[in-house]
Chain A
């Protein structure tokens, strides 16, 4: 069997190497019809939800009990599942994400890598002492216990009777699990232990059995949770009661319903004040109070009640250590409370920046999409990570223990807050399938993160967005990278593939291909069409075209379906002029050239002051001594007159303009077609920038020649002068050739000692 397979492989290799079938259409402008799904009544060809679009709904009522002694959560939930689909459902699928941490988890088994990459410490960490995973203790409905099957991170409920279109199914599940130590074994949720004051800080998510999405694209989206591909969840309403030690402070998705019971009168007063404070956050619990509270060990438990409408998930955080501040963000459609929860270890960074970063994110994102539709947006401090849930996210960025921080830490923190709060829009509200396509939320979100950062502060050091920052990733060997349109679990280089490249592509689309006006309208249209719905990649691709009248199939094909890169080269420039036959001009031209050479000639230069024999002896002169070969003869004048008489009006106009013609040859070396942007500099040092759409490559994707006409003469040409196309090789972007200094040269030959330290505030305080 093996031998047979081997033979087949051998047979196929040469065929593969021979390349593509020349009889098929491989044009880079070929329409995308074969790659994307056929439009239907659920999703239109214009990229909007169709007239039969539907989505199912999952509503939850949950009671949770947090055990701070044993770091354990126990919960009971009642789910009401609404089948809005036209289909009968024989079974329901739920997601059990905690099972990824179970000892029989598939994600351990399929992960590849050599034993060489292990060390004693990592082995110790991995000793599966930790008993992770859900313990399901009861699954039932009114009719009694329900039949269910667990397949790793997925659980199927076998219905006795199929759930009819339009029908509802109410059932309940009881469960518990051990919370993971996030600092030791990692994870999106878990706890951090603070040894100094013996306290836990819990950031809890994916903590309950959650309904899968059933829709027209995937049927049940029950692809196993392996770690990379995140979540896909239906919308619904949540009522969640969280019981914690009485001195804990809880922050969660949704509105706190029983604030009047939970908060003391001073806190309540401040909470109300925060709802009116537009410019500065108001402390509901300040650092002094939090520091006092973290020493508490009060007996008893307290229940915090939260309510959230139309969300796809629920997350929460709890600790004695929380400082809590809030301010209001005013919108036409309603006020939003921007809030932060953080331990004193987050200060002074967190009190100064967190809530304001939340507020700025809401403002920028809303302008590009829609008003933020939820009552709160919360940032919780959680060392090392950044992770998003509806209305709440867990963010890193911790100063040093002496209260100072490097600039890098500050920007890292602001960036992660903008990014995670931004996830409220993608994918919490524009609810794309993360298990299938990471880029649909990470890429679009990173794109708006870049815009927000640039609005936060001038010259904000954004890591992703500008075209030139993706060049190093795109330019090289393609064996170990994959197109953006690759399933989340199969992606190499997650950060570049699913965050950096799609964010850059969207930015290029906005700045270079479509222009801000057309792009912003179309992007906003996509956001509003798919707000509180489940979009697919084609819905984005189609909307951007449909709302702008720009055929973008070539762009999606090149940037999203291939690993091609941009490398356009100026191969050759030739200068031409029309011979206008005017003997006067022609001869003048010849004379100038003659004089120029004469001037340059070294012997001529040195001899110019010498007196020659002829200077002394007039008798040596004859006809030719005075003869000027550059003078126009009568005969030539006559000939020219006749030539002009035969010209049409149009022809003579062109001739009089005396234009310079430049024939420029370009080649597309990277494969990815892009517009050609040229900066022409003329001999009088003026500039003219010309933008040629990518369609110039339509009939020949690899080599083109184009003629440009100017009144002035060219001095030099630069291709992609504003670094906007991600051209990977700039050496071939100049005429005449110009070598840019390399990064290495810049570093080696600059004064390295002039750079100030990145934590000058520490230096200052030490003095």
Chain B
């Protein structure tokens, strides 16, 4: 019986809809700002919201949920964080961009970070409903590094 839990995977056997990937580029700029561009497949996030919250985001249409930005930001805040020197930083949400090739870009920012001694990131975006989800994080700038998160590895300390 317990094994059957895992059959949730069945939900997403689509032949063309094979994404399950987000890509986050984090730039620690020379001006000491943290600039983040997070790329989702719009369809994935919509599907996720339908399954998890019974909400239809309808991104990029006039019928788009009025509070879709705050819902998305709240979702991201619960499933993604950056810890600098052991304390979580507060990100601000600049906005989003929905494109016709299904890419959904989210722009986040943190102004003036302090000296970087240690860096820890949590990223379990979409993992709850897509067990095959992979979340790529690229660090840009002097830190140049990257890591791929998945449902088993959701927290990573960068060295």
Max chain B Cβ within 10 angstroms of own Cβ: one of A115, A479, A493: A493
Let me know if B98 is at the binding interface, CB within 8 A: yes
Given contacts A101-B10, A480-B150, are A747 and B105 in contact (CB under 8 A)? yes
* 8 A Cβ contacts from A392-427 to B: 396, 400, 404-408, 411-412, 415-416, 419-420, 423
B60 touches A757 (CB 8 A): yes
Segment at the A interface, from B17-25, B68-76, B83-91, B115-123: B17-25
Q: How far is the CA of A585 from the CA of B101 in the complex (A)?
A: 59
B27 touches A742 (CB 8 A): yes
A108 touches B14 (CB 8 A): no
A187 touches B131 (CB 8 A): no
Residues of B within 8 A of A407 (CB): 60, 100
- Residue of B98, B101, B152 touching A411 (CB-CB under 8 A): B101
Given contacts A114-B151, A122-B8, A406-B60, are A461 and B99 in contact (CB under 8 A)? yes
**Distance of A608 from chain B, by nearest CB (Å):** 40
Interface string of A739-767 (1 = CB under 8 A from B): 00011110110001001011110110010
A472 touches B131 (CB 8 A): no
Let me know if A564 is at the binding interface, CB within 8 A: no
A463 touches B101 (CB 8 A): yes
A188 touches B61 (CB 8 A): no
Q: Which residues of B contact A (CB under 8 A)?
A: 1, 3-21, 23, 25, 27, 35-37, 39, 42-43, 47, 51-52, 58-63, 94-95, 97-103, 105, 107, 109, 127-129, 131-132, 134, 136-138, 140, 145-148, 150-152
**Distance of A477 from chain B, by nearest CB (Å):** 4
A186 touches B107 (CB 8 A): no
Residues of B within 8 A of A103 (CB): 4
- Residue of B18, B109, B136, B151 touching A117 (CB-CB under 8 A): B151
Max chain A Cβ within 10 angstroms of own Cβ: one of B7, B36, B132: B7
Residues of B within 8 A of A480 (CB): 134, 148, 150
A473 touches B23 (CB 8 A): yes
Known: A119-B128, A766-B62. 4 other contacts (CB 8 A): A185-B11, A188-B15, A423-B15, A748-B109
B146 touches A113 (CB 8 A): no
A476 touches B129 (CB 8 A): no
Given contacts A495-B21, A748-B107, are A186 and B13 in contact (CB under 8 A)? yes
Let me know if A105 is at the binding interface, CB within 8 A: yes
B134 touches A126 (CB 8 A): no
Q: How far is the CA of A472 from the CA of B152 in the complex (A)?
A: 22
Let me know if A42 is at the binding interface, CB within 8 A: no
Q: How far is the CA of A116 from the CA of B79 in the complex (A)?
A: 13
Let me know if A498 is at the binding interface, CB within 8 A: yes
Residues of A within 8 A of B151 (CB): 113-114, 116-117
* 8 A Cβ contacts from A98-121 to B: 101, 103, 105, 107-109, 111-119, 121
- Residue of A113, A117, A748 touching B94 (CB-CB under 8 A): A748
Residues of A within 8 A of B131 (CB): 111-113, 117
Let me know if A462 is at the binding interface, CB within 8 A: yes
Segment at the B interface, from A141-149, A381-389, A614-622: A381-389
Interface of B is mostly: mixed
* 8 A Cβ contacts from A354-368 to B: none
Let me know if A61 is at the binding interface, CB within 8 A: no
Let me know if A496 is at the binding interface, CB within 8 A: yes
A496 touches B128 (CB 8 A): no
Interface string of A587-606 (1 = CB under 8 A from B): 00000000000000000000
Residues of B within 8 A of A747 (CB): 37, 94-95, 97, 105, 107
- Residue of A122, A386, A411, A463 touching B15 (CB-CB under 8 A): A386
**Distance of A480 from chain B, by nearest CB (Å):** 4
B61 touches A406 (CB 8 A): yes
Q: How far is the CA of A465 from the CA of B134 in the complex (A)?
A: 21
**Distance of A695 from chain B, by nearest CB (Å):** 30
- Residue of A112, A423, A462, A758 touching B98 (CB-CB under 8 A): A758
Q: Which residues of A contact B (CB under 8 A)?
A: 101, 103, 105, 107-109, 111-119, 121-123, 125-128, 185-188, 227, 230, 384-388, 396, 400, 404-408, 411-412, 415-416, 419-420, 423, 442, 461-463, 472-473, 475-477, 479-481, 492-496, 498-499, 742-745, 747-748, 752, 755, 757-760, 762-763, 766
A408 touches B42 (CB 8 A): yes
Residues of A within 8 A of B37 (CB): 742-744, 747
**Distance of B34 from chain A, by nearest CB (Å):** 10
- Residue of A118, A462, A499 touching B101 (CB-CB under 8 A): A462
Max chain B Cβ within 10 angstroms of own Cβ: one of A405, A412, A745: A412
B136 touches A126 (CB 8 A): no
Residues of B within 8 A of A126 (CB): 4-5, 7-8
Max chain A Cβ within 10 angstroms of own Cβ: one of B15, B35, B151: B15
Residues of A within 8 A of B17 (CB): 384-386, 396
**Distance of B102 from chain A, by nearest CB (Å):** 6
Q: Pick the 4 closest A-B CB pairs, nearest first.
A: A476-B146, A386-B16, A758-B60, A759-B61
Residue of B nearest to A127 (CB): B4
Residues of B within 8 A of A115 (CB): 5
Given contacts A472-B138, A498-B18, are A752 and B62 in contact (CB under 8 A)? no
Q: How far is the CA of A408 from the CA of B147 in the complex (A)?
A: 30
Residues of B within 8 A of A396 (CB): 17
Q: How far is the CA of A742 from the CA of B33 in the complex (A)?
A: 14
B14 touches A384 (CB 8 A): yes
Given contacts A117-B128, A128-B4, A494-B18, are A400 and B98 in contact (CB under 8 A)? no
- Residue of B1, B7, B103, B127 touching A105 (CB-CB under 8 A): B7
- Residue of A463, A748, A762 touching B61 (CB-CB under 8 A): A762
B63 touches A400 (CB 8 A): yes
Residues of A within 8 A of B63 (CB): 400, 759, 762
Given contacts A494-B132, A495-B18, A747-B37, are A108 and B7 in contact (CB under 8 A)? yes
Q: How far is the CA of A353 from the CA of B32 in the complex (A)?
A: 50
Given contacts A125-B8, A472-B136, A757-B61, are A408 and B21 in contact (CB under 8 A)? no
Residues of A within 8 A of B146 (CB): 475-477
Residue of B nearest to A128 (CB): B4
Residues of B within 8 A of A230 (CB): 15
Q: How far is the CA of A200 from the CA of B59 in the complex (A)?
A: 28
A108 touches B152 (CB 8 A): no
